[in-house]
Amino acid sequence: MFFGSDDHASAAANLMSLIASCELHRLDPETYLAEILHVLPFWPRDRYLELAPKYWAATRARIPAAELAVEIGKITVPPPMSSAEQPATR
């Protein structure tokens, strides 16, 4: 494929990898990306791993559905996951 530059090719590869990860975890990529873009400005920086496709279903269940239903609006960030639910970091 032709992307115009190495930077564009890297960006496309990152996006395609994220979409493949969504499909691997049985998430609709378009819905996932829309919800993540809605949540991201309010999410604490040290808890970004909870937004990964692997953990998104569990994280999404803890966010009020009414807040995710609107296109623009503040998101109430739930408390951190318990140690049993926490994603493993490497």
Give residue-wise pLDDT tens across range 29-57. Answer: 999 999 999 999 999 999 999 999 999 99
The answer to whether the Cα torsion of 66, 55, 24, 74 is positive or negative is positive
Query: What pLDDT sits at residue 74?
Result: 82
For residues 2 and 23, the model is more confident at: 23
Percent of the chain whose predicted confidence (pLDDT) is above 70: 88
Residue 2 has pLDDT above 70, yes or no: no
**pLDDT confidence band for 5 (50 / 70 / 90):** confident
Within its chain, how far is the Cα of 85 from the centroid?
Answer: 17
Range 12-37 average pLDDT = 94
CA dist., res. 31 & res. 14, Å (int)? 17
